[in-house]
Amino acid sequence: MTEPIDLVLVGLGHRTLGYADYVEQNPALARVVAVVDPDPIRRLAAAERFAIPSERQYDYVTDLPAEPLGRAAINGTMDAVHIPTSLDLIERGYDLLLEKPIALEPAGMMALHRRADELGRLVVVCHVLRHAPFYAHIKERVTAGEIGQVTSLDLAEHVSYSHMATSYVRGRWRRQAECGSSFLMAKSSHDMDLMSWLAAPGRPIRATSTGSRSWFREENAPTGSGKKCLVDCRIEQACPYSAKRLYVELGLHDFYPFESIEHLGPEPTTQQKLESLAGDNPFGRCVWRSDNDVADRQGVVVEFDNGTVGNLTLTGTAARSGRTIHIVGTQGEIFGSLSDERFTVRRFCADEAKAVVENVSVAAPADSAKYAGHGHGGGDLRLVADFIELLRGGEPSLSTTALSDSIHGHLAGFAAEQGRLEARWVELAELHDN
């Protein structure tokens, strides 16, 4: 194939537009031919960026013509509409790159899986961490049998205090009734996918978890705190969660807190930001007096059909974001840190008096410059490159997250969350039957 792949962008938020950076960097491989979003400001901005004519700018997926405008769509809509928009897109003839989580519940996810299979559509899920060099290299070692059969996996995701406050206390993923996703599935469906991927060929059969919203509660509010940081809080200047400190002075996660004033221009002034946070902007609220209800820490246990046991620790009060992993096999172990960009392989055998230790660095791989400026350990744009290569006739890579594979980690996550709420083990077969 010599022509670029034509793509439709659906849901013009942070994730979709980040993936679209790959298109700008590789115009010979892909191009954007239409944009879809109900927000006129975002729709126009994306249309100008990719030179999309007015007749190819749409409010909703249902406004698209019956015949596909391109080969594939990137679906970065909000969690609650992933299934209806994805079903509509594959019915119209598009292959799909779908943002995680796939769905809010098992039935919708399995319906999408069945229909995509019936139509012969390619659906790839945006589990970008599979493409991060750190995890890709670990998967290669595990697949090659370097530590024997995997017996246990211990993963941890430490969500920084600022990220937690922004997305899961003040932001759009703070209430399950509104966003549709639990803390586990909104934040760590990546990790549940990694667990299932690394445990293969084992498949998860049951799961449970424990955890709660324990810290971000009004009874934990410090003396002198108020309802809004810039209105009635007497300790705002000393508070690490201060909205002014996080979003104005430090500029952390500021693509979310100031969405409500995007109409003022691409870069609001400092005064406009402060006025917004002092007004009805939800990101100006005290973290202990918000209306959040999702958990802020959780421990997950998954059992696989080959005896492997997986554990995930998820916490929302870390000083620094980071992920760690420790895999134990029948002939050795692998452990390391994503943020450190290195892992250790330790093997034992009859021919060696001591365990053989190998320290592996994945920092700055040869092609890293092409994927710079994006998160998830360099996985974001590698995911898009992998998707485009599949569309151009290439073979799936070891990291490719086909829908048929990705459903296993999601089912384990759904079961774990149900287990937390019901204080029991949940068999994945129960979810298949629903």
Concatenating the DSSP letter of every residue in 298-349 gives: EEEEEEETTS-EEEEEEEEEESS-EEEEEEEESSEEEEEETTTTEEEEEE--
pLDDT at 2: 79
CATH value at residue 198: 3.30.360.10
Q: Provide the phi-psi class of 40: left if phi over 0, else alpha when psi is between -120 and 50, else beta.
A: alpha
pTM assigned to the model: 0.93
Q: Classify 180 as helix, strand or coil.
A: coil
Spatial contact of 72 and 96, defined as CB atoms under 8 Å apart: yes
Q: Return the exposure string of 75-86: e unless at least 16 CB atoms fall within 10 Å of the residue's CB, then b.
A: bbbbbebbbebb
Q: Which amino acid is at 356?
A: V
* Whole-number Å distance between alpha carbons of 300 and 203: 16
Q: Mark whether 105 and 165 lie in a shared domain.
A: no
Q: How many CB atoms lie within 10 A of CB 366?
A: 6
* Whole-number Å distance between alpha carbons of 237 and 235: 6
Q: Mark whether 153 and 300 lie in a shared domain.
A: yes
Q: Mark whether 360 and 244 lie in a shared domain.
A: no
Partners of 335 in the β-ladder: 326, 344
Q: Which of 125, 140, 165 is the last residue of a domain?
A: 125
Spatial contact of 309 and 301, defined as CB atoms under 8 Å apart: yes
Residues 6 or more apart whose Cβ sits within 8 Å of residue 372: 378
Q: Mark whether 212 and 223 lie in a shared domain.
A: no
pLDDT at 434: 53
Range of the domain at 427: 129-216+292-433
Q: Which of 101, 125, 149 is the last residue of a domain?
A: 125
Measured CA to CA in angstroms, residue 138 lies from 32, 101, 378, 424 at distances of 34, 23, 15, 32
Q: Mark whether 209 and 303 lie in a shared domain.
A: yes
Q: Mark whether 304 and 408 lie in a shared domain.
A: yes
* Whole-number Å distance between alpha carbons of 385 and 150: 29
pLDDT at 320: 94
Low-confidence residues of the chain, pLDDT below 50? none
pLDDT at 179: 86
Q: Mark whether 357 and 256 lie in a shared domain.
A: no
pLDDT at 178: 87
Q: Is the peptide bond before 282 cis (omega within 30 degrees of 0)?
A: no
Tally of domains within the chain: 3
Q: Mark whether 312 and 177 lie in a shared domain.
A: yes
Q: Mark whether 225 and 212 lie in a shared domain.
A: no
Q: Mark whether 311 and 379 lie in a shared domain.
A: yes
CATH value at residue 61: 3.40.50.720
Q: Which of 284, 316, 336 is the last residue of a domain?
A: 284
| Burial class (CB within 10 angstroms; exposed 0-12, middle 13-18, buried 19+) of 134 | buried
Q: Mark whether 326 and 405 lie in a shared domain.
A: yes
Kindly state the DSSP code that residue 153 receives in the 8-state scheme: E
Q: Mark whether 302 and 176 lie in a shared domain.
A: yes
